[in-house]
A = this chain, B = another copy of it.
């Protein structure tokens, strides 16, 4: 194996990803079970080393591709964790990202290699390796804050969704009930949803209308100072 030598010591640099998805009931996070020490058998955030020829975001995307077959609909840098004792073996600095995926699309949960992969409700997580509980808490906090003034709730839903589903996203993330009429009024008054000529299928009651988010229009308005807010 090639060796790499430097005049001064260098920390190890990794990326870790907090992947949020939504099922019918709760906000969930993707974890992998570690195969090797330290913390072998423990659940941890997906992540790995940053390679020399790739940007940080590229490293995060590559790791997510390797661990799962999900397509990421939103990815943003969260924070960089650089405490001296994060890893008992070596000084490891990690750049954390958080991602949103449309889990309702593909119910299947595929894992490329032999490692155990699982979704866990954010409010009922197993113990995590390293300082990953701190990273998780930071990601959850950021999601709660960001969802209120950026249109990222849509990234957790299929392209076509009902207003009920959208309200459910907000209720789940903000962890409080919202008034149905006020929610619909508010979201529709922004005029960023396109009403489709379709309704949901296979429900045992009146079928709800489907909508999709008009991203183009949002981006245009956003440049002119429009602020999304729930």
Binding site for B on A (CB under 8 A): 1-13, 49-50, 52-57, 77, 79-80, 82-84, 91, 93, 95
The answer for the CA separation of A57 and B56 in the assembled complex, in Å, is 20
Partner of A5, one of B3, B11, B79: B3
Copies in the complex: 2
Task: Say whether A80 contacts B56, CB under 8 Å.
Answer: yes
Of the residues B2, B3, B55, B80, contact of A95 by C-beta under 8 Å? B80
In chain B, what residue has the closest Cβ to A82?
B56
Can you name the residue of chain B whose Cβ is closest to the Cβ of A145? Answer: B149
Q: Does B11 lie within 8 Å of A52, measured CB to CB?
A: yes
User: In the complex, which residues of chain B have a beta carbon less than 8 angstroms from the beta carbon of A77?
Assistant: 79-80
A10 touching B7, Cβ below 8 Å: no
Nearest residue in B to A6 (C-beta to C-beta)? B4
Shortest C-beta distance, A141 to chain B (Å), equals 13
Across the interface, do B7 and A5 meet the contact criterion of CB distance under 8 Å?
no
